[in-house]
Each structure stands twice: as C-alpha cells, then as structure tokens.
Amino acid sequence: MSARPTYTKKDKNHNALVKELRQVGYTVVDVANLPGRALDIFVGGYDHTTSAWAWVQVEIKESRKARFTESERAYFCELGITDPWICRDNVAVIAAVTAEDVLRWFGATI
C-alpha cells in the first residue's frame, strides 16, 4: 500500500479552514505535511451529539468533486468507510471542504 508522499501540497482552503476552526474554539493538529497514513488534520472539541470531548481526523478537499488519492481511498476502505463525506458511525474520520462540514460532525454550527 502506498504511503503519503514525502512532500504534499495543501489544498487552497486548508489554512482558512484550520483558522476558522481555531477561532471558534476547536483544537486543530495539522499533520498534512507528515509522511505516513495520516490525513490532513485532527480536530478536537466538544461533541454535541455525545456530550463529550472528541477527536475527528479530517481529509480536506477543495470541493466535493475533488478526487481522493489512492492512499486516501485505501485508508478509508481499511477503516470500513464507504462515504467519507457523511461518515459518523463508529469511525471518527471525515472529508471536509469547509469548517461547517467539520462542525456538523460535532453537532455544532458556526
């Protein structure tokens, strides 16, 4: 299985999405440039659906039409995720275009 390339290019909306999440109080760990299996960011915050602190791993895309890399698809498949745009079940991994997409996972809004 192929690993994340040594040097990756962040999506154009990456920094703005991270900034917006931090501005509304969420913890963001940016791992986009790390080699390996990680997606772009980890977001921690209060989960309104479970009333507890939670973390979600996020793959940032510029649009919902953007393609996932082979490595990303393999990672989602390994986790049993068939649609990362709507994933909630028992796996805290999603794809997002906006901060609102991430906050929706937490049951929150901006």
pLDDT for 32-87, tens place per residue? 988 876 799 999 999 998 899 999 999 999 999 999 988 898 888 888 888 888 76
Query: pLDDT grade, residue 109 (50/70/90)?
Result: confident
Q: How many CB atoms lie within 10 A of CB 37?
A: 13
In the chain, where the domains are located: 14-105
CATH class, range 14-105: alpha beta
Report the amino acid identity of residue 7.
Answer: Y
Q: What is the pTM of this model?
A: 0.87
> How far apart are the C-alpha atoms of 25 and 12, rounded to whole Å?
22
Distance between CA atoms of residues 93 and 62, nearest Å: 17
Dist CA 23 CA 17 (whole Å): 10
Higher pLDDT, 7 or 92: 92
Average pLDDT of 19-35?
94
- Report d(CA 11, CA 106) in Å as an integer: 22
Q: Which two tokens stand for residue 110?
A: 């901006």
